[in-house]
Amino acid sequence: MLQIIHHPHPTLRHKSKPVRKVDAEFKAMVAEMFTLMYEARGIGLAANQVNLPLRLFVMNLTGDPEEGEELVFINPVISRPTGHDIGEEGCLSLPQVFGPVLRPAEVMFTAYNLKGEKFEQKVDGMFARCVQHETDHLDGIMFFERMGDDDLLEIERDIAEFELSYDKQTKAGKFPGDEEVARHIAELEAKYC
């Protein structure tokens, strides 16, 4: 059973490998990711955020399973960034922490869906921001690393609280240690990458 992991869990910093195999179990994980995303009131969720080291994310800009379009991005690649846009971002792996992030205003992306079909599109606005945010996750990058120094100072204490909480819970045995996380990552990469 999947669950959303919080900063600073090591899988959030893992650079995901491309997916080479899509089977029934993989499709079930994608469905579960959508469920978790909606429960957390998000619009995008990367595989790293549910402890899966795979180049995959899901998205529905409405955040509502009854509305909008559910999109699955397997092995996404972003190219041709243009313009600049500052917008507030948050993250399901850092709940209730928000900050302004400067990103390209428009990007081209290429990805594959669950049927193995390639799709590409030039996007802007929230679509472009979400695609960039989730692709960053797949590269082990958290949104606050894209923030300016002054803005980062404002949320530094919040980030530190997540780190302290994670350390305490790991020492108490509530989270697996680094070796177990590394073993988990290796097993999934061997199966799907």
Active site residues: 134
Rounded CA-CA distance 171/83 in Å is: 45
Report whether 10 contacts 163 (CB < 8 A). no
Report whether 55 contacts 18 (CB < 8 A). yes
The alpha carbons of the chain give a radius of gyration, in whole angstroms, of: 16
3-state secondary structure at position 135: helix
